Structure 1
Amino acid sequence: MFKLFIYSLVWRSSISKLNEFEKYHIDDKVEEELRVFLNDNLKTTHKELLENIENNIKYPSYHFCLIKPIARNKQSRGIFTAFNSGEKAHLLMLIDFAVFFYTDEKSIGSTLKYYSNKQNEKVIIATGDIEKWTELNRMIVQKMLNKKNSM
């Protein structure tokens, strides 16, 4: 269910027409693969969803990493934005957690590859102290401002 949730966030963000997501778009081929996967596997009721999950779903195989602060409070509130950090590298900053999504093996760095949720056996969520979470958010805002100023 976790992968259904993450792939749903990635796909919905990619097809969104909202201003917050105008700089976020995954490859058309990947977008279609996720659409078909979600259409086939998301069910109307909780019971149907659980029954379907027990049927050994074949999940699309993409690296994605989740990072969140260790605690949730006023100081840990992050930003809300989405953008492509490279042709095959995408980032969703969703206030309380970040989703790094990669559509090919070469785009993910060795550190994030270690925290990747590409496999199906377990879920990895990297947590960091509030200071590091705040630093990550500042770094992303700075990167966005630098990109905007260079246009």
Structure 2
Amino acid sequence: MRKIMFLLGILLLINTSCEKDDFCLKNPVTESLVINFYDDSNKETLKNVTELSVWAEGKTDFIYENQTINTITIPLNSLTTETVYNFSKEGVINQFTITYTPVEEYVSRSCGYKVVFNEVTFSSDNTWIKSFTPETLTTIENQDEAHVQIYH
């Protein structure tokens, strides 16, 4: 009986020693950029990009490779103030540049810090991308909905 009481005491001690703040429940902490692709002739209709490949400038690894898709989520480099992506549609490459001011924000003891991207601007060399909106954003701090709409 003493062994059982001892084990129950240890389990109770372990269970009450962890605080709610010891577990990070929000993942990913730093948000990514969400882009939706739309039909240029009907700006209300999502339109798949055929054979879409996406990679960061200077990198060889693809984030997306030869996919037919209408929404993508891409990370921004929190160590710089600019990230350049190459979007290839059926072999035609379009450069898409995102500039921003990264700001570290404390989340909690278990999650640490996250990066919020402020004063975000977008530019493109518009080879197969006809246009995009918006050209600027105040901040990127969630990825529940698209940040940019690209028309092609």
User: Is this a same-fold pair by TM over 0.5?
Assistant: no
Which structure: greater helix fraction?
A: 1
Which structure: greater strand fraction?
A: 2
Taking structure 2 as the reference length, the TM-score comes to 0.32
Answer with 1 or 2: which has the greater Rg.
2
